[in-house]
Amino acid sequence: MGVEEECASHPMTDAIINLTAGAAGGVACVLSGQPFDTVKVKMQTFPSLYRGFLDCSLKTYRHNGFRGLYQGSVPALLANVAENAVLFACYGTCQQLTRRVFGLEKGSHLSDLQNALSGSLASVFSSLVLCPTELVKCRMQAVHEMSMVGKTSLASTWSVVRDILKTDGPQGLFQGMTSTWLREVPGYFLFFGGYEICRSLFTKPDAVPLLISGGVGGAAFWLAVYPIDSVKSRIQVLSMSGKQAGFIRTLLCIMRTEGVPALYCGLTPTVLRAFPSNGALFLAYEWTRRTLINRTGGDRLRKDF
């Protein structure tokens, strides 16, 4: 991956490049995958209201129009831009740390497994900026269903943020933090590992291979940690109506009252979303980084890019 290349630029310049490229990737991810994510959150939080992916999509469109599928796009953009900017900026730093721990001379000598470990470590830091923005995003995406059951009258991003601050203070923005870490740390190990392994199979990683590799990494992420994400969505959305139990108690409650299948409700749109959204993320990231390195006089990119 482009991050581990050795650059002649100052480390701070390289960090800024990674941060900017990560932000560009976050924008591409949201624009290409937001409707799928909206359906996912609705199905995770209210599994009894929908018969499946298509039913949820059609009902959302019928009630709120095309705009309803993009509900929560503003906080989603903030969440993804912030997360990916920090994730990829920290990823480069974590790769250098991993290189030193394993006694490697260059970042390009890192194996796919070591790159996956670097991505997992970087997610610890990106989760700190992701949790508050994703909390608001999830609540906005499920605001129609919450209003249907009389649990909220909120209708805008700012009203959701104001309600959180009024009810729980600044710490309220970190509801679901434990669930976020439990999802992100193992998930990003598979995310970067899947991406790197798939990318290494192509002799010339241009646009199409990058899209495919990003999709494979995204699919690996969600298939592994989806039940954790389901619990997180429940906690973050239903906390609009009052304090929720912690991760373990919520998980056990879902399994006892609704069964294990409830933890996988919404998996189909999530895996479908993984290919366009994560493919677009990595494509935007790689090409933005390449452009910025060329303009700042960084060392040559990989010959195969």
* Residue 171, token pair as written in the block: 């710490």
Q: Cα 112 from chain centroid?
A: 21
**What pLDDT, in 10s, does the model give residues 44-58?**
888 888 888 899 999
Residue in 89, 72, 116, 95 with CA at minimum distance from that of residue 25: 89
Q: What is the mean pLDDT of the chain?
A: 85
Q: What percent of the chain has pLDDT over 70?
A: 91
Tally of CB atoms within 10 A around 235: 26
d(C-alpha 15, C-alpha 32), whole Å: 26
CA neighbours within 13 Å on the CB side: how many for 284?
Answer: 24
The single residue listed with the structure tokens 């609009």 is 240
Task: Identify whether the C-beta of residue 263 lies closer than 8 Å to the C-beta of residue 22.
Answer: no
Q: What distances in angstroms separate CA 106 from CA 98, 131, 160, 164, 236, one per listed residue?
A: 11, 33, 47, 46, 42
Task: Identify whether the C-beta of residue 164 lies closer than 8 Å to the C-beta of residue 173.
Answer: yes
The b/e string for 36-63 (b: 16+ C-beta within 10 A; e otherwise) is bbbbbbbbbbbbeebeebeebbebbeee
Range with top average pLDDT, 9-23, 152-166, 199-213, 246-260: 246-260
Tally of CB atoms within 10 A around 248: 10
pLDDT of residue 154: 61
Residue in 29, 171, 172, 139 with CA at minimum distance from that of residue 87: 29
- What is the torsional sign of CA 191, 194, 200, 205? negative
Q: What distances in angstroms separate CA 138 from CA 49, 123, 235, 247, 267, one per listed residue?
A: 17, 20, 10, 17, 16
Q: What is the DSSP letter of 170?
A: G
Range with top average pLDDT, 60-74, 115-129, 192-206: 115-129
pLDDT of residue 184: 95
Domains of the chain and CATH, by start: 11-303 (1.50.40.10)
Helix (H, G, I), strand (E, B) or coil at 202: coil
Residue 259 has pLDDT above 50, yes or no: yes
Residue 206 has pLDDT above 90, yes or no: no
Q: What are phi and psi of 194, to 5 degrees?
A: -65, -40
Task: Identify whether the C-beta of residue 173 lies closer than 8 Å to the C-beta of residue 135.
Answer: yes
